[in-house]
Amino acid sequence: MSLSILSLFLGALAGGGLGAVYLGLLWVAVRSLPQDRGGVLVFVGLGLARVALLLGALAAAATLGLRIEGIAAAVVGFLAVRLAATRWLGDPTPGGATWK
């Protein structure tokens, strides 16, 4: 059974959505670090939430029996959101690369 273009698009869209949630959690975690109290606890807690998000997505993919092409499309969607976010935020440090 072959994968259709629609299912690849939906996989990329799902990966993009997971990427947006992942990067949103990362953004909140990094913004909480400068706080005097509790910033580290929030950072660690949201780090665990990001790990749970990724493991949950992989477990859901395995449970649903997704083929490798669908998972690869989700990874491409995730990477597209990451690249778009780093380009959108710009160059935070002089001389630094936006993709690092």
Q: Is 95 or 33 the better-scoring residue by pLDDT?
A: 33
Contacts of 68 (CB under 8 A, 6+ apart): none
Is 23:81 a contact under the CB 8 Å cutoff? yes
Residue 76's pLDDT band (cuts 50, 70, 90): very high
> What pLDDT does 38 receive?
78
Instruction: Report CA Rg, the chain.
Output: 16
- Average pLDDT (64-88) is 91
Question: What is the pLDDT of the chain when averaged over all its residues?
Answer: 86
> What pLDDT does 97 receive?
57
Is 16:78 a contact under the CB 8 Å cutoff? yes
Which residue type does 45 have? G
Give this prediction's pTM. 0.80
pLDDT tens, residue by residue, 23-58: 999 999 988 888 777 788 888 999 999 999 999 999
